[in-house]
Amino acid sequence: MNRMVRAFATAGLVSGALFFVGMQVQAEPTRATMPDIAKLVHYTTVERGEVTEHIMTTRAAIEAVKRGEPIPNGTHVALVDYRDGKVFRYFIMEKGERWGQDYGEDRRTADWQFQWFKPDGTINMDENTARCQRCHTSRADREFLYTFNDMRRFEFE
């Protein structure tokens, strides 16, 4: 009997582990929207192996950073992820008035929210935005942007 109980317990643990391994953490809905990419300024490019990332934002955001002012509400920062010469996905940060209050202090990135989008502009709910948010908290002194200094150095043509 004891051996049978252990066999059922082991089977339960294995099936539970398989369930969680197969489970994918999904993105949460946020207020971040897909911007009109054509209206954004391409201010830097990052190469990561086979991946090319064009980073874009508004002229007003770049000018604010250059003046040492906060990036204005309503700003989008877009990372356009290219693979094999085609858009693979978009990572969007958008800033809105009091958007930070949607999260607890431990997850807040000022008033920035994040979202992943597919090449067709629809939300990609298979990407985990909480992971992005946690990573960007380390850049609080730079408007939560990894490319803040690139923005500051960018010269308009």
pTM of the predicted model, to two decimals? 0.80
> Is 141 part of a structural domain of the chain?
yes
Domain contains 80: yes
Whether 51 maps to a domain, the answer reads yes
- Is there a domain that residue 121 lies in? yes
Whether residue 19 lies inside any domain: the answer is no
Q: What is the mean pLDDT of residues 43-61?
A: 97
* CATH code for the domain of 114: 3.50.70.20
Give the percent of the chain with pLDDT over 90.
65
Asked if the model's pLDDT at residue 1 lies above 70, the reply is no
In a domain, 21, yes or no: no
Q: How confident is the model at residue 14 (pLDDT cuts 50, 70, 90)?
A: very low
Mean pLDDT of the chain: 85
Which pLDDT band holds residue 130 (cuts at 50, 70, 90)?
A: confident
Range of the domain at 113: 26-153
Is position 17 within any domain? no
Task: Catalogue the long-range contacts made by 49-55 (C-beta closer than 8 Å, 24 or more residues apart).
Answer: 50/83, 50/84, 51/81, 51/82, 51/83, 51/88, 52/81, 52/82, 52/83, 53/79, 53/80, 53/81, 53/82, 54/79, 54/80, 54/82, 55/79, 55/80, 55/147, 55/150
Give the H/E segment covering residue 94.
strand 86-95
Q: What pLDDT is stored for residue 18 in this prediction? A: 38
Among 95, 123, 137, CA closest to 26: 123
| Structure confidence at residue 105 (pLDDT) | 85
| Residue 56, helix vs strand vs coil | strand
Find the mean pLDDT for residues 102-126: 91
- Whether residue 73 is contained in a domain is answered as yes
Structural domain tally of the chain? Answer: 1
